[in-house]
Amino acid sequence: AQSVTQPDIHITVSEGASLELRCNYSYGATPYLFWYVQSPGQGLQLLLKYFSGDTLVQGIKGFEAEFKRSQSSFNLRKPSVHWSDAAEYFCAVGAPTDTDKLIFGTGTRLQVFP
C-alpha cells in the first residue's frame, strides 16, 4: 500500500525567500503524486501533479515540484515566497494499481514573515 511522509510540521520563512517543502513516499513503482494547498477553514486546492514524463512539474502560483525516484521524493519549491502563500500544504500519493485510494501526508504549515 502506498504511504506519504511530510517530515516538516511547521516552516517559517521571510517574504521573498526561497521555499522547499519535503515529501517522501513509499510505493513499489512510480506513483501518482500531488501537492495541495489549504487556506484556513477551507477545502483543498490542487497546486500540481505528477504521473509520468518530465520529472520537474510546474504548477499554479509559481510553485514547482521535482520527482526523484532514487530518493522517493516529490519536494515542492518556490523561488520567492509571498505573504499570501501562508497556508497548509499537503502532499498526496495515489497508486496506479489501486486507482481508488488517495493518501495524504500530515501536512506542513507555512508561516511567512514580512
Partner 1 sequence: SQTIHQWPATLVQPVGSPLSLECTVEGTSNPNLYWYRQAAGRGLQLLFYSVGIGQISSEVPQNLSASRPQDRQFILSSKKLLLSDSGFYLCAWRYLGRGNTEAFFGQGTRLTVV
Contacts with partner 1 by CB under 8 A lie at 6, 9, 32, 34, 41-46, 49, 51-52, 90, 92, 94-96, 98-107
CA 68 to mean position of chain CA atoms:
13
CA 95 to mean position of chain CA atoms:
16
Least separation in angstroms between residue 70's CB and partner 1 is 22
Distance CA 61, CA 58 (A): 9
> Which amino acid is present at 46?
L
Query: In terms of CB distance, is 15 or 73 closer to partner 1?
Result: 73
Query: In terms of CB distance, is 18 or 106 closer to partner 1?
Result: 106
Least separation in angstroms between residue 33's CB and partner 1 is 10
Query: Which among 12, 10, 40, 18 has a CA at the least distance from the CA of 113?
Result: 12
Query: In terms of CB distance, is 3 or 14 closer to partner 1?
Result: 3
Least separation in angstroms between residue 16's CB and partner 1 is 28
Least separation in angstroms between residue 17's CB and partner 1 is 25
> Which amino acid is present at 47?
L
Query: In terms of CB distance, is 40 or 114 closer to partner 1?
Result: 40
Copy the grid coordinates of residue 97: 494499481
> Which amino acid is present at 5?
T
